[in-house]
Every structure is written in structure tokens, then in C-alpha cells.
Homo-oligomer: A and B are copies of this chain.
Amino acid sequence: MEYSTSSLINSFQPKEKHTTLFNHQISARIRLATELDVPNLHKLVTQMAEYHGLSQIFTTTETSLYNNLFKSPNPPFHSPTALILEISPNPFPQTNHTTTTNFVPIIKNNYNFDNLEILDHELETYRSKFNGHGHDNSNNCNVYVAGHVLVYPSYNGFFEKPGLFLDQMFVRKCYRGMKFGKLLFSAVAMQAEKMGMGMVDWLVANWNEETINFYEKMGAHYIPEYRLCKLYGDQLQAFGKKSD
């Protein structure tokens, strides 16, 4: 399966359509990503890189996402794994996914909002390709991708139990402030607990006070003295070739 990175189509819709699509209710589902989600996932990680001002180091392609997320022989959460946040004006059906995967979708139907005015310029672009059985379903009416998380198994030599590293968590701008971030984070924490793991780790930018407060309120330890270092590109190649 090959993906091209040139499939970014911005399909702008008239405002009226979006504001009426979610009238006073919105339903949400978090499920494991499938290969069909790769184009939408690539758009999400591209937008997230722009939001963090990291476009200049961004090298992810649809092909690399596919290779990194779906070609491992390990089951989900034992190698890099994506969860997809979908939203819909209609409630999601409760389905039994325990047969093939180790992640049971999280469904929150009919969130009520008195003044739900969502202007989603990219609604059609983000139409979900998933119909609950893993087949392509371009007629999957009124289900849209609103965000994602990327996680992979981690380990810390000071802790008895391994964990999950939360590499990315992203909710598209027009769906923020609706507690979907917390829902995504919950999905990861619950999964870590379910797998008998001891921790969830992630990084947060120090300028992102709102997010830091959100994390501290939920009981996370914010460890200000640790800084990220990264060796990549030419420098990694140069270092990898010598040993003196």
C-alpha cells in the first residue's frame, strides 16, 4: 500500500451547513486507527506540526505513517499506535470490537451544548473512512475525524512497570473546549492501566500554560527540570559512523 503526500484537499463549505450540523448535541467516539485513516491522520499531524511551529523539521509522509503504525508484527500499544477521535451529530452505535483488537472503543453519545456553533472549514476533508468493520465506506454519513493521539510503549529504569509514551495528542481547533482532549487522555490512561502498566509520560511545551494546568489538575507530575534532546539528520549520521 502506497500513499502520496499530495492528497491535501481543502474543501471549504458554506458556514450555514456546519453550524446546523451539530445543533445542540455532538457525539464522540475514540477507536483504534486503521490503514484507512492514514490520509486523515497525515493531515492531523501536519496541522499539529504547524501549530507547534515545527514545520521545518517535519518529514512525515503518508507512507511513513503507514509503515510506522501498521507494519509492526506487534499488537496495538506494543508498537507505535494511533487512536482516532471521531465526532458526529448522531449517536454512535455500541459495537463489540473485543474480538480482533485489545482496545474497546470509547463512545460518548449526545453531549449537550446550549450554544453549539461549530464552524468546521474542513468538514468534508475530514469525513471518516471507517464504518466499524474496517472496510472503506465513503458513504459513512456524518462521521468526521476531529483529533488523534499517538502512543508507543515506554520504559523507565527507575520504575518497576513499563508505560505508554504519549507522543502526540491533538484536537482540531474548532472542536476544542469540549473536553475531547481529556477524553483522549483518559483513553490512553485507561489503556495503560488495563495493560498493567505503571505510567503515562509525555512532553509539554513550557509556553502552553493552559495545557500544563490541565495536566496538573488531573494529578500528573510536571517535572520542570528535564529538557528534551534530540539527535537526528546529518548529526546522527555523522555520530553513527564514528566511535572515537
Contacts and interface: CB of A to CB of B under 8 A. Distances in A.
Interface of A: 45, 48-49, 54, 57-61, 64-65, 68, 74, 79-80, 106, 108, 150, 152-163, 165, 167-168, 183, 185-187, 189-190, 192-194, 198-207, 212, 215, 218-243
A158 B239 contact: no
B229 A206 contact: no
Nearest to A81: B155
A199 B232 contact: yes
Nearest to A148: B157
A229 B243 contact: no
Contacts of A205: 225-227
A56 B240 CA distance: 36
7 contacts: A57-B158, A59-B198, A152-B153, A199-B232, A218-B231, A226-B228, A227-B227
B162 A157 contact: no
A34 to B, nearest CB: 17
Given A74-B74, A157-B150, A157-B167, A199 B237 contact: no
